[in-house]
Structures are given as C-alpha cells and as structure tokens.
Structure 1
C-alpha cells in the first residue's frame, strides 16, 4: 500500500533528501517550504505522515504543530536543528509523535517513522469519557449522543487535559499551550474557561467528576 507523506521544511537540500528517502520507501510525497502552506495542504488532503521542521521562515514549527493538532491525529515527526531539551519537551507536549535532531542518519529516521506508523495504527481515533465522545480528526464532540458545542479555547483546553490525563497541568502550562507564551501569569483566563467547560461536559459542575482542581496549582483530568 502506498502511503501519503507531507514534508514541511524550508531547507531545499534537506527537503530533497527527505523526499528521495520517503519515495524509496513507497511513499507519495508532497513538500512545502512554509508553515502556512503546509497547514493549507493538510486541511484539504489526507496524509499518513508529516515530517515537520521547527525553523520555518513564516511560522515557527511549534505553532504549526499546535494548529494541525486541532483537527488531525496524523503522525508527526519533528526534524530540527534545535537540540535543547525544552524544545523537545514543548514539541512532544504539543502533540508530536517523535523528535529527531539534525544531523541524523537515514536508517534512524526510517526506524522512527516505522514506530510512529505502528503506534498510530494501534490508536483509536475517537476519545471517550463518561457520556462524552470526541472525534479529534473531524473536530466533533457529543454528550449522550447529542452534539456539544465548545468554543475553540474550551476544546483546546479539553484536548490538552485529555492528552495528559492523570497528570497535573499548571495554570502556566495550560496558558502557554492554549494561549501562548505572552499570557503566562494570567490564571484567571484558565479558571473562567474551565468553569464554562465544566458546565458543558460535567453532569454536576459543582462537584466535577473529570476536571479536578489542584488548589493553587492547576487542573488534573480524571477519566474514572
């Protein structure tokens, strides 16, 4: 079976290398040198794999990753010259399946691609807790079978909490991932949106079953 891959990389030499490598593995490949164009391609076509560079000229790759995760669960492997631990953590927290630092060998990249594809094939496309069902690919959510409308911010907070279910996320972690770096130190933003989110997904918002408050720290998502 031929798989579809998208390369988002503005270094033409690296882009050409990746394209040749993937084509040798029976991928149909499209390439984009900009984050905005890459997102437009992703929104109109279905892919099995995305290779994403962080150092793009128009959009930082972290922003591209955050945006595409709003509607697609496609496996994403970040390829970057940034080797700092914080860059890796931020990309993985934002939804990257893997992170490989330049320079790298063809064999290592192909091994990571195989692992990402295996992992994706074994995942369930829908997420469910209680009466709530989420389709992250179609960006649809329902409760007890009825469509449920969430604002973009409420939806992003919910998916972030779900991705880290069982772990405490601080107010600043949520602010950074959902609003951006400039909003850190504004926990009231998170409190207001979590309150409205609870009104929509919890049976009893006054005693929430799923989104638990960690006093003075942040929130923890509990699926049971």
Structure 2
C-alpha cells in the first residue's frame, strides 16, 4: 500500500486529508511538527510527503532544506501562502509541487497521482556491491535486507554513492552533511564511518567498500 506522510498542524485539515486519502486507498502518518516528521521518516519508508509550511515547531521552508540534504522523496507543499516568492522559494528548496489552500479534493488527488507515477517511473536506486540505497524511499538494503541508518549515516552513504570511486575529503563530507561550520572536525566523519562499516561491511576492520584514504578522506568502491 502506498504510504504518505502528512505534516500539517491544522486539526480540521488533518481530518479532511485523513478521510479523503484513506478512502482513496493510501496509508497515512500525520504529524504537526517537523521534528516528528523526521523521526517518522527515519523509522519507516514512505512514497510521498504532504507538507504544510506553517508547522508548530519550524517553518516548512527550513524543513525542506534539511530534508533535501538526505532524501529525494517527492514532496507536495500544501500551503495558504499564495505569494509567488513563497512558491518559487519552496520549489527551489526542493518541493516537487505546490498547491495553494483552499484546494479541491479532486485536484489534490490528481497532483498526488502525478507525483507517485513519476516516482515509480524514475528509479534513482544507487548500488555498490550488495549495498543499495533508494533516495526516493529513503531506504538502504544490504543483500536485499533493509538496514537502519541514522540521518547522518544515510547522508554520508548517499553522498559517497553519488560519488562512487571518487575520493571525498573530510571537509567535503563535513560541509555537505553537517554544514560549513563543522569544517576541520574530521573526528565527526571518523565516528560515523566506523558505524557505517559496522552495519554494511562483512569485516569492518578490513572494509571492502568504504575505504580510507589516509590523511585525506574516504572512497567508496565496488
């Protein structure tokens, strides 16, 4: 069953979306806080996110920016903010579509079908040996068995798979995953790389895929 994560702080709209989407055959999780949404995404896989920009604990634009650092899952923004700048900003921040409130049930269902169809047709799965990452579903498998990673572990692995066979310096990884303020803190990367090896390598002490480039950084190879 297709799973949709809804981030919406309005109880009446939560109720409307729950009734409409469950009647259409979708499985739902509903949160009113962005941090709760991140927690749900780390616990299970989804096919689509419906995002209100006015969450209880953070602005939806900020949520989008952080989310796009580690996931390519489709996001449909549902917002009362109808200004052109707000829409363009959301799309630039990684939203796949933007629907202004109030909207009709039929238009929402049509937008959802388009995003799910595009998601199904476009496979972005990345592989290295028996390790596979699906950026759309935010899942990692090892020999076809799902492996649970933290957000930082996932972001590092995705970056390395996107740059397979290339050397990534400590600072390149720190800048992409943690932010510019963490440059020159290679110990952050070392700790998370050790954790990744424990989860993904048959012998973490002599890794086959997640290789160290002494004094420089790391390289992912088949």
Shift of 1:148: 3.5
**Alignment match of 1:141 (pick from 137, 146, 160):** 160
Q: How does 1:54-203 map to 2 (within 5 A)?
A: 54-126=53-125, 136=135, 137=138, 138=154, 139-142=158-161, 143=163, 145=165, 148=168, 150-154=172-176
Query: Could you tell me how far apart the structure 2 residues matched to 1:144 and 1:48 are?
Result: 26
Unaligned runs of 5+ in 2: 127-132, 139-153, 181-215, 218-222
Query: Could you tell me how far apart the structure 2 residues matched to 1:101 and 1:144 are?
Result: 40
Shift of 1:3: 0.7
Q: How does 1:12-27 map to 2 (within 5 A)?
A: 12-27=11-26
| Ranges of 4+ aligned residues in structure 1 off by more than 4 Å | 134-138
Listed one character per residue, the Cα deviations across residues 28-57 of structure 1 (whole Å, up to 9, x for unaligned) are 111001111111111221001111000112
Query: Could you tell me how far apart the structure 2 residues matched to 1:106 and 1:64 are?
Result: 25
Query: Could you tell me how far apart the structure 2 residues matched to 1:153 and 1:19 are?
Result: 39
- Aligned-pair RMSD on alpha carbons? 2.8
Total equivalences in the alignment: 155
**Residue 3 to residue 147, structure 1, CA distance change in 2 (3 Å):** farther
Does the 8 A contact of 1:7 with 1:19 survive in 2? no
Listed one character per residue, the Cα deviations across residues 85-139 of structure 1 (whole Å, up to 9, x for unaligned) are 1111111111111100000000000000011111111223157xxxxxx975442
Listed one character per residue, the Cα deviations across residues 185-211 of structure 1 (whole Å, up to 9, x for unaligned) are xxxxxxxxxxxxxx99xxxxxxxxxxx
Query: Could you tell me how far apart the structure 1 residues matched to 2:18 and 2:174 are?
Result: 34
TM-score calculated relative to the size of structure 2: 0.62
Does the 8 A contact of 1:135 with 1:141 survive in 2? no
**Residue 62 to residue 123, structure 1, CA distance change in 2 (3 Å):** same
Shift of 1:154: 3.5
**Residue 144 to residue 87, structure 1, CA distance change in 2 (3 Å):** closer
Listed one character per residue, the Cα deviations across residues 131-175 of structure 1 (whole Å, up to 9, x for unaligned) are xxx97544241445367453243469xxxxxxxxxxxxxxxxxxx
- Structure with larger RCO (C-alpha < 8 A, sep 6+): 2
Aligned residue for 1:172? none
Unaligned runs of 5+ in 1: 128-133, 157-177, 180-198, 201-224
